[in-house]
Amino acid sequence: MVKKIMASLIIGSLFLFMGCNRISNTVNDNKELKESVESIYFNNKIAISIAEEYMEALKSNDLEKIKRLSDKEVDKNIIISPSKDLEITGIKQVGSAQLGNKTMFKFYVTRTKEGEPKADLEQYYLEVRKTEEGEYKVSELKSTELYSVFLDKDKLKIRKDDDVEINTLIDLKSIPDKIYPKVNVIDVAKVDVPKEAFSAVEISFSGDKVAISTYKDEDSYIGVVNVEDAQETAAKEGEDEGGKEDEKNDDKTLGKKITSLDVLNGCKISSLNFSDDDGYVVVNYVKGNGTRFKVYQSGGSIVSLELDDIFAEEEYNLIYERIQDNNIIMNVTPIIKSNNTESGLIGRYKISLKDFKLEKL
């Protein structure tokens, strides 16, 4: 009798275990099935469009558009940024991952203050979710600072992440005294580098380069500094010091190489911009009453766009907007409306970074 009861209990327990296991598997299967179904009915192209539109709205500080694209939770804390006094100058999407009815995007964002030696590189995580109503909304936004460059006396300082340690990027004394300007003249002589003080700077999206500018009176210099890892620099300095602790200098110089781009006479640098791959630098400047830009390879060569032959320097502004899909987007406006200004030339254009052809939009 006892054996029968024990056997019944064992069999009952076995069926109960199998039933629970089946329920658990069903729940897991249903969860995976739900995510699979949601993925099928989730349009990732719309999510990408929403994410890009949202980031552009952040760049232009369009609060109405930000509010329209956000769900209620994000709307409570619209802009998350450690650099409130700096304007967004560049945006690069570096990754994305879709899961069910949402996609998480990762962006690198550059920020600067116009004409000043101050720049940040930030990392943004942005989530776009499809709501029960079928709308695509930004449901999460987080940002962290990756690099910061700023002025300290006659030195540019650089800080990585939230490190307490701050190192020197470059000082005025390390900038060349003379360079060859990028002009279409054979056997041109070296010119003096105007380096009374630093002006506009910009960090590349990789964080490996920093575009810098200096000025004296009405002339400006532009260069690109390659950034060395602080730990590698510390190791090299430790080897050079040979164990002399008392002579050790905690302030490491992380600028390992400077490439001179040009000297522009009568120009004030307003901002600098890297292409997505760090290969090009757009130099925006003010000359007289007009605004123009030039494009250089980060290795030092100037890109001959011949824009001055089309848009006379004394008549048109060439306003850089952004780099998008390997194209420079610019806006042409008249400096002063006159009979000499051709209305057909005014408008937005794109310049391909592949063949450098100009096309009106």
| Residue partners of 95: CB distance under 8 A and separation at least 6 | 105, 106
CA distances from 316 to 218, 308, 321, 333 (A): 21, 9, 15, 6
For residue 115, which phi and psi values (nearest 5 degrees)?
75, 5
Residues across the chain: 361
- Give the per-residue pLDDT at 113: 93
44-146 adopts what CATH topology?
Nuclear Transport Factor 2; Chain: A, (3.10.450)
pLDDT along the chain (361 residues), means of 10: 49 50 51 56 93 94 90 65 76 93 96 95 95 92 94 94 86 95 76 97 96 97 89 51 49 90 97 96 96 95 91 94 92 82 87 93 93
Among residues 301, 292, 297, 302, which one has the least CA distance to residue 331? 292
- Give the per-residue pLDDT at 244: 47
- Give the per-residue pLDDT at 260: 97
Among residues 45, 39, 304, which one has the least CA distance to residue 184? 304
- Give the per-residue pLDDT at 182: 87
Give the global pTM: 0.81
Among residues 291, 121, 299, which one has the least CA distance to residue 226? 299
- Give the strand pairing for 268-274 and 119-130: unpaired
- Give the per-residue pLDDT at 33: 55
Instruction: Using the Cα atoms of residue 197, residue 308, residue 114 and residue 170 in order, give the sign of their dihedral.
Output: negative
- Give the per-residue pLDDT at 12: 53
- Give the per-residue pLDDT at 105: 97
- Give the per-residue pLDDT at 34: 53
- Give the per-residue pLDDT at 61: 87
- Give the per-residue pLDDT at 9: 47
